[in-house]
Amino acid sequence: MKVKFFTVKSKSERTSIYIRFRDSNRIDLKTKTGLTVNQSDWNQKRQEVKNNITATDRDFNNTKIRELRNFVLEKYNIDYNSNNSINENWLKTKVNDFFDRKDESEFFKVYFSDWIQKFIDEVNDRNSKGSKYTPVRIQRLKVVQNKFKLFEENTNQKFKFSEIDYKFYNSFLEYFRSIEKINDNTIGSYIKILKYWLKVAEIEGVSVNPYYKHNDFAAPSNKTKDVYLSEDEINLIYNHDFSHSERLDNTRDNFIIGLRTGLRISDFLTKLKEFNINEEYIEIETTKTGENVVIPLHPQIKAILEKRSGKLPHKISDPKFNKYIKEVCLEVGIDEKVEGAKIENKKDEKDFFTTDIHIYNKNRKTSGKFPKYELITSHTCRRSFASNLYGKIPNLSIMAITGHKTEAQFLKYIKITPKEHAQKLKELWK
In a domain, 402, yes or no: yes
> Domain boundary residue among 156, 181, 213?
213
Residues 199 and 260 in one domain: no
Of 46, 69, 101, which residue constitutes the final position of a domain? 101
The count of other CB atoms within 10 Å of the CB of residue 121 is 10
Q: What is the domain range of residue 37?
A: 2-101
Residue-level pLDDT at 394: 86
Least confident of 76-85, 254-263, 294-303, 399-408: 399-408
Mean pLDDT of 245-266: 95
Q: Are residues 67 and 170 in the same domain?
A: no
Are residue 332 and residue 394 in the same domain, yes or no? Answer: yes
Q: What is the rounded average pLDDT of the residues 92-113?
A: 82
294 lies in some domain: yes
Q: What is the pLDDT of residue 420?
A: 62
Q: Can you give the pLDDT at residue 416?
A: 62
The answer to which of 28-37, 226-235, 281-290, 359-368 has the lowest mean pLDDT is 359-368
Q: Are residues 73 and 151 in the same domain?
A: no
pLDDT, greater one: 328 or 368: 328
Q: Final residue of a domain: which of 78, 101, 124?
A: 101
What is the domain count for the chain? 3
